[in-house]
Amino acid sequence: MIITVMKTVEIKVAGKPVKARAGETVIHALWSAGQAESIKTGCVGGVCGSCTITVRFPDDRLGGTDLACLCLVEEGMEVFPCSVDAVTPVVPQPDPTPEKLRTAYPTLDRCTKCGSCTIACPMAIPVMDSILRMRSGQLEAVAEDFVTCIHCGLCRFVCEDRVQPHNMGMWVRRSIGASQKLVEEQTGSTNWEQVNREWEYLTEGNSGQRLEHARRFRERGRIEK
């Protein structure tokens, strides 16, 4: 009989030591340690955006924001729960324009282009570039930018200028969606076959595969198997 001994590592969560098995996620380590309540948890698959954390490494690697259900433990890693409070969304407006967006979110012009939101995003969304697209009226592109947004709120959490990027991204998506019925009635041109293919691609497989699909779709702008 072969007995496999799992390597144990020690991490700290909010300053408290936690023993974990090498290769498991921060969430699973906390569950095993009886500390499930330390970090908010939902889907445990990288899609609900509940389990937001910041991470610091013992070596000189740059730490940053992450999702505890995807982040793998490492010896000496320090984890800080940072749950992001929800904010009330602004009602969408059909046929959105930058002016309507500014009225809904006067925070749009506060962006100082620091780039922190883009670095913080676990879904590799070009958040800062999208803010600039909002300002210049490229709202269809903005809607595409935020397709894979899981509303973890980390882009908002790190923004010192309180710009609320993902709330604006969702406002744009909902506003375009609110106009879509009219467009379809006028043109009948929605390519549902393509929409369905993309939807199947984004939702098939296990949680790791779904995340990988979302990231690839984000990077390439199309389905590539």
- Regarding 211 and contact with ligand SF4 (CB under 6 A), the answer is no
Taking the least distance from each CB to ligand SF4, the nearer of 48 and 178 is 48
Q: Per-residue x/- mask for ligand SF4, residues 21 to 60, rule CB under 6 A?
A: ----------------------------x-----------
- Regarding 69 and contact with ligand SF4 (CB under 6 A), the answer is no
Taking the least distance from each CB to ligand SF4, the nearer of 72 and 114 is 114
44: left (phi over 0), alpha (psi -120 to 50) or beta: left
* Residues in region 74-113 near ligand SF4 by CB under 6 A: 111-113
The H-or-E segment that residue 194 falls in is helix 192-203
Q: Residues 55, 66: contact at Cβ < 8 Å?
A: yes
Distances (CA, A) of 6 to 3, 21, 25, 125, 223: 10, 6, 14, 35, 38
Binding site for ligand FES (CB under 6 A): 41-44, 46-51, 67, 69
- Regarding 141 and contact with ligand SF4 (CB under 6 A), the answer is no
DSSP alpha helix (H) spans, 65-191 = 98-104, 116-120, 127-135, 139-145, 154-158, 165-187
**What's the CA gap between 173 and 154, in Å, rounded?**
19
Taking the least distance from each CB to ligand SF4, the nearer of 7 and 220 is 220
**What's the CA gap between 32 and 24, in Å, rounded?**
10
Closest distance to ligand SF4 from the beta carbon of 201 (Å):
19
**What's the CA gap between 134 and 131, in Å, rounded?**
5
Q: Considering CB distances under 5 to 8 angstroms, the limit depending on partner class, which of ligand SF4, ligand FES, none binds residue 151?
A: ligand SF4
Residues that bind ligand SF4 (CB under 6 A): 49, 111-117, 120-121, 123, 125, 127-128, 131, 149-155, 158-159, 161, 163, 165-166
